[in-house]
Structure 1
Amino acid sequence: MKTLGAAALASVAGMAAAQASQCPREDALGTSRVLAVDPAAYPRVGLKSFPQTLPLVDHEVVLTFDDGPWPATTQKVLAALEHQCVHATFFMIGKPASEHPELVRRIAALGHTVGHHTWTHHNLKYLKPDAADGEIDKGIAAVETALHGIATSTPTTPFFRFPYFEMAPKTLEKLQSRGIAVFGADLWASDWNPMTPEQQLKLLTDRLNLAGKGIILLHDSRAQTAVMLPAFLRYLRDNHYRVVHLVPAADNPATVQTQ
């Protein structure tokens, strides 16, 4: 895949940012800006998997959460984000979304972006193409049903993340042809490994300080992450990081980027 060229740079106007809504708590981290992502310009992002990522400036981060919704932990994650007036993107697995539709709707009602993460978190790289497509479409349909009561494989938010970041070229190409952006990550907390919240916080902040910015991968299904998150958000605030909230380009027709 080619790196960002002049044509993609020109499309940044289509990825317009708008001022985030005002936060009632003056000492909160807050959401710095909203970035509308056009899958045509940014079909695959995240430097852990691809040569291209989103056009973030120094000290800007995007918070993303995988593998939910799980009531016991997702509710704590939502409370931490709400306390700091921060918006994130949740890449949901279809099966738990179908089991907890009220939580899916609450996440969206709080202003977060809802993306897709297959039906059961199978490793798609090792499935036959038709089976991989079925995992993707069933997952999308489950989340869309929870959100809107309509079982469609056309996602309202065309954002997808592969389980384990394992992907086959044919599946990648098909998602691009459908206008669905594939998200990797620029850094992560490795929260799939057992560790204390304190250890996880240090690992994540060390990696963030090296990277300086980026798309961050976390898991709202992990208890240690739910416990760690309030301290991490305070760290972002105290160290002058700014949170960028992602939305689909169609949801944000503005053409002037603002901070």
Structure 2
Amino acid sequence: MTRCLSATLRSALAAWMSFVAAAEAAECPRKDALGTSRVLTVDAATFPRVGLKSFPQTLPLEDREVVLTFDDGPWPPTDKKVLAALAQECVRATFFLIGRNASAHPELVRRMAAEGHTVAHHTFAHPNLKHMKPEAAIGEIDKGIAAVEAALHGTASTTPSTPFFRFPYFEMSPAALDILQKRGIAVFGADLWASDWNPMTPAQQLTLLTERLQAARKGIILLHDPKAQTASMLPAFLRYLRDNHYRVVHLVPANAKNVSGKAH
């Protein structure tokens, strides 16, 4: 009886701690900030591949809900501006990091995590994996995972603490996809993007992105944090989201210990 009661209390305490952590995602000192509306737990068993630009399925987002994702960091000249803009609006995002950059700038990787963002994976050196042999492609993925884990936790591991991965250029092979699915690693595409790999002014990029969002109404948005035009555009885009009643959803893995459920 005592053992059963103790287990019940532990379960209740864990649930309460999860609720408190989720609620903290929405706390913000600025009452007029955009904020993070809720936390969505992503389990690779349920959502092994998401993003309508690459796959038939995406995340279960409601109308006017968006997920902000950034590729190719960390990159100090621009990430400081990106992180400042996100902090100003109390918004949390997911960063798909290149392992080589993470090894060069581990302090930025740790800062991203410390500020509540989700740190995910994007290979070691950003090659096109589609035409590589599966073992070579997985080796490149694992090298990237190990570099990010070492930057984040001080110990290299090919088991990602956040099992989220995005293929460079969205180029992938069925064999690599199958291997990642068997390992419980969710693969992310995107639902819309800012095309920020093309040179344009921040104003032009803002117009392009907001027009695409008006058409899609919701979705996983792809941005690139090393792009100066994106870093410059981001504060205006976050204000646009706030002024037009969009809501930001923060993604965490199913094994996350610090957040779960919906933020209130």
SS at match of 2:41: strand
- Mapped to 2, the partners of 1:254 and 1:158 lie a distance apart of 15
1:1-259 aligned at under 5 Å gives the runs: 18-19=22-23, 20-251=25-256
Q: Provide the aligned C-alpha RMSD in A.
A: 1.6
CA contact (8 A) 1:18 1:35 kept: no
Which amino acid is the alignment partner of residue 194 of structure 1?
Answer: P
Which amino acid is the alignment partner of residue 192 of structure 2?
Answer: L
**Larger-gyration structure (1/2):** 2
Q: Deviations over 1:41-98 (max 9, x none)?
A: 0000000000000000000000000000000001110000000000000000000100
What stretches of structure 1 of length at least 5 have no aligned partner?
A: 1-15
- Mapped to 2, the partners of 1:173 and 1:129 lie a distance apart of 10
Which amino acid is the alignment partner of residue 176 of structure 1?
Answer: Q
- Mapped to 2, the partners of 1:51 and 1:125 lie a distance apart of 19
- Mapped to 2, the partners of 1:136 and 1:75 lie a distance apart of 26
- Mapped to 2, the partners of 1:104 and 1:255 lie a distance apart of 22
SS at match of 2:130: helix
**Shift in Å at residue 21 of structure 1?**
3.3
- Distance change >3 Å, CA 222–CA 256, structure 1 → 2: closer
So what's the TM-score if we normalise by structure 1? 0.91
- Distance change >3 Å, CA 253–CA 218, structure 1 → 2: closer
What stretches of structure 2 of length at least 5 have no aligned partner?
A: 1-18
**Shift in Å at residue 123 of structure 1?**
0.3
Identity %: 75
Q: Deviations over 1:112-158 (max 9, x none)?
A: 00000000000000211111011100000000000001111000000
Off by >3 Å, runs of 4+ in structure 1? 16-19, 252-259
